[in-house]
A and B are shown apart, each in its own frame.
Chain A
Amino acid sequence: MSAGNPPRFVLASPESEFYWRSGADGRLRIQRCGDCRRWIHPPGPACPFCHSRRIGPEPVAGTGTVATFTINRKEWIPGFTPPYVFAFVELDEDPTVRIGTNIVGCDIDEVEIGMRVEVLFEESGEWHVPLFRPIAAEAA
């Protein structure tokens, strides 16, 4: 994904729209239950744990750990130029919050399970697409 940003094909639902807009102020938000306080992802119409309807987006630190990943060598979608890394990142607030994303800001061969990462956002039309990069990369 070096030659320009890929087409992101974001198709937000009423429940998920906040997720794709959250990065406008530089912060990642995840849906959270106002009653049992558990984090919910992907966002839904009710808390899946206590079934409360008192739910809404709340900011998270935007840091987490790579749970697993793949290096794509095939061009599945025109504009997504391989190789690129698709990963599942588990957030620090709750590792059961598992986010699909791309790992950027490092060589693809440096990505590994357990790697510490932090969010950054890529503007794509009206959306701010959450991506992740190694935390060490920011310090360097």
Chain B
Amino acid sequence: MAGERDALTGEPLERRAIISGAAQSDVGRRLYRTGIDLTVEAALGAIEDAGLTAADIDGVSTYPGFGGSFGGAMGAELHEALRLSLNWRSAGVETAGPLGAVHNAILAVAAGLARHVLVFRTVFEGSGGPLRPGGRGGGGGGMAGSAGPFQFMIPYGAASAACWVACYARRHMHDYGTTRTQLGAIAVNGRANAAANPKAIYTEPMTIDDYLAVRMVSEPLCLYDCDVPCDGSTAVVVSHRDYAPDAPAAAVGINAMGTAIRGRPSWDQFDDLTSMMMHHTAASMWERTELTVADVDAAQLYDGFSWLTLAWIEAMGFCGKGESGPFIEGGANIAPDGPVPLNTSGGQLSAGRLHGYGHLHEAVMQLRGTANIGVPGCEVVAVGAGGGPETGCLLLTKGPS
């Protein structure tokens, strides 16, 4: 193992933290509620779930930390709305993807800056606007209306992350023979699992033939390869592991986290057009643990676009580089009773674009044994969120790691 260690125990510092509480607000296509309203619902739920009161919360962490349709709500808004008294607060978009807010909370707890950090991610994209020039950018904001890196794609009508991800998907198909029928297994698996999730947006059955027949968006990606914008907030409480015996629900341990961004921080200039930054991010997670991919009982891997899940599957090592197409074909390997149960609450394609936090919430439920579709004996879950240059991951365990 590499990376920083506790000088006395030799453990990675993230193991000082646990997830003690988790909750979601109502989730819907268009709820016409404000971002802070949804955030308060999720936050109060998570605090109660953790067996705490608002007075116990001494830290707040969120991604990305601004309002609007992409940002949802600011950390300061929650701070004020609940009149919290904080020792530490953090928000930002330049993290290892959306889970960066969880990474930051873990570090704050491990450093002793806070004992119970409320982490939230609120999306408000169903009621907000779609991608457009001058609007918010995919996965980080500031896409257009600035002379930044997107100035080389906007003039060509590549205004959505769908266009950029489609280019990687096509090259993956070209180099490795991946087919649309194989790719479709991600959407079909998600839809089947969403049927058991009462908060999922789309629950009607979908077959691979339905997938192949739907309209194309940005070839080779079709409508069902793109997640569905929604309104909703997810909150978790990251606590010191000392609290685990007092927490009413089974604590979820942080075994390792992956944060590396070793390649070019770019949607269009990453050196390998068949992978993305998660290739490095997942590798950095495995460098921090004695566990291996064979120990993982379930995977919650980002599906903002279906091809991103293929990239995560390969990056995590569930199959070899370029082998994700045959690995997922037909869906048996990723079904709830398969060797790698994937996106067991429906993922973002069917359950809504909660920006990786739906995946995180589901991981907690699996490890507690309270998921709608439970994976028997689930003790280790890998969570990966984000795409392009904005990726981060967590390896979570049943009980403190």
A contact residues vs B (CB 8 Å cutoff): 1, 6, 8-13, 16, 41-42, 67-74, 76-77, 80, 84, 86-88, 96, 98-102, 113, 124, 129
CB-defined contacts of A69 to chain B, threshold 8 Å = 167, 170
CA distance A8 to B167 in the complex (A): 20
Establish whether residues B147 and A13, one from each chain, have CB atoms under 8 Å apart when the complex forms. yes
28 A-B Cβ contacts within 8 A?
A11-B144, A11-B154, A68-B167, A68-B170, A68-B174, A69-B167, A69-B170, A70-B158, A70-B163, A70-B167, A70-B220, A71-B216, A73-B216, A73-B217, A73-B218, A76-B157, A77-B133, A77-B154, A77-B159, A80-B157, A80-B159, A84-B157, A86-B156, A86-B157, A100-B158, A113-B170, A113-B171, A113-B174
Instruction: Fill in one digit per residue for B168-180: 1 if any A CB lies within 8 Å of its CB, else 0.
Output: 1011001000000
B146 adjacent to chain A (CB < 8 Å): yes
Specify which chain A residues have a CB less than 8 angstroms from the CB of B215 in the assembled complex: 73
Contacts across chains A and B counted by CB atoms under 8 Å: 106
Measured between C-beta atoms, what is the minimum distance from B172 to chain A in Å?
9
Query: Is the Cβ of A70 less than 8 Å from the Cβ of B273?
Result: no
Q: Give how many B residues have a beta carbon under 8 Å from the other chain's beta carbons.
A: 38
> Would you give the shortest CB distance from A28 to chain B, in whole angstroms?
13
Could you tell me if B151 and A16 are in contact, using CB atoms closer than 8 angstroms?
yes
A42-B269, A71-B219, A74-B218 known; A100 vs B144 contact (CB < 8 Å): no
* Whole-angstrom distance between the Cβ of B266 and the nearest chain A Cβ: 8
Of A11, A13, A42, A73, chain B has the most CB atoms within 10 Å of the CB of A11
Complex CA gap A57/B217 in Å reads: 36
Question: Which of chain B's residues have a CB closer than 8 A to the CB of A67?
Answer: 171, 273
Which of A76, A98, A113 lies in contact with B163, CB distance below 8 A? Answer: A76
